[in-house]
């Protein structure tokens, strides 16, 4: 049975907008039944109404009980074959002003959110001996950027998790990988753009150019480009690909 088909169920955390919604739509278009999970029911329902997903589940990925309950409900409807651990958040501050609470917030959402989701789906995947887990990390998980030490540390942790879990599941029919987008055109990036405008007083075009210069192609990444990489990792042809962190960043990494 093909991994991406109507008989397959994909769950996308943070699937109501941005990269998560693009991934959900790509999986849905490829034939999977898709459940999007997140905190904002309005954006989740909009994704379903637009055809990017068939079902929605409300949960805070930083809350393990909330995630476990929502995923159990989704899995009772149809076993989950594909998990996209996409939910994330980014905050910037100089290291000297990055307190323990900021580090904890970044770890809770970006790292533990992936842990909670993976722990909820993995028993069923192991029982059926098939599955795909893809974490949406970041180029910040492969290199450092100034003023986002907490975010970068959390994304590095995600990649460490992926590499370790891939080895544990290597003989089980499950693959575990990460995609690492560079600066991507999303709502999340809007916060960075606004910060640059506020701090420099320069135009929006200049702020975007400041971010795009990290990419050797001189542009921002499109969410659909990240979704295409995820779609490949979820397909039958990527069965030998596991433990990888694939940069989608125009050559930055």
* Residue 1 structure tokens: 């049975």
221: which DSSP letter?
B
How far apart, in whole angstroms, are the C-alpha atoms of residue 169 and residue 123? 11
Query: Is residue 210 within 8 Å of 199, Cβ to Cβ?
Result: no
Rg, Å, the chain Cα set:
17
Residues 6+ apart with CB under 8 A from 37: 11, 12, 13, 14, 15, 44, 56, 57, 58, 59, 61, 67, 70, 71, 74, 87, 117
Residues pairing with 248 in the sheet: 181
Determine whether 147 is an active site residue: no
Catalytic: which of 151, 182, 231, 249? 151
- List the beta strands (DSSP E) in the chain: 9-13, 33-38, 55-58, 82-85, 131-136, 174-181, 245-248
Query: Is residue 113 within 8 Å of 62, Cβ to Cβ?
Result: yes
How far apart, in whole angstroms, are the C-alpha atoms of residue 10 and residue 188? 23
**Which sequence positions are flagged as catalytic?**
151
């Amino acid at each position: 049975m093909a991994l991406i088909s109507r008989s397959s169920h994909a769950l996308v955390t943070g699937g109501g907008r941005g990269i998560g919604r693009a991934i959900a739509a790509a999986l849905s278009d490829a034939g999977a039944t898709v459940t999007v999970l997140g905190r904002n029911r309005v954006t989740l329902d909009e994704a379903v109404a637009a055809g990017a997903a068939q079902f929605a589940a409300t949960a805070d990925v930083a809350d393990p009980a909330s995630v476990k309950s929502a995923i159990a409900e989704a899995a009772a409807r149809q076993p989950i074959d594909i998990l996209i651990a996409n939910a994330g958040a980014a905050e910037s501050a100089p290291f000297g002003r990055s307190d323990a609470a900021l580090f904890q917030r970044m770890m809770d959402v970006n790292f533990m959110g992936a842990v909670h989701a993976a722990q909820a789906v993995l028993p069923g995947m192991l029982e059926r001996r098939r599955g795909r887990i893809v974490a949406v990390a970041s180029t910040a998980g492969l290199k450092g950027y100034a003023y986002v030490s907490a975010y970068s540390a959390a994304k590095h942790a995600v990649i460490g998790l992926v590499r370790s879990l891939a080895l544990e599941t290597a003989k089980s029919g499950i693959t575990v990988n990460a995609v690492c987008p560079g600066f991507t055109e999303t709502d999340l990036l809007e916060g960075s753009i606004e910060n640059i405008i506020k701090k420099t007083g320069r135009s929006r075009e200049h702020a975007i150019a400041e971010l795009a210069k990290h990419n050797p192609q001189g542009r921002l990444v499109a969410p659909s480009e990240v979704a295409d990489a995820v779609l490949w990792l979820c397909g039958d042809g990527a069965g030998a690909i596991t433990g990888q962190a694939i940069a989608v960043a125009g050559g930055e990494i």
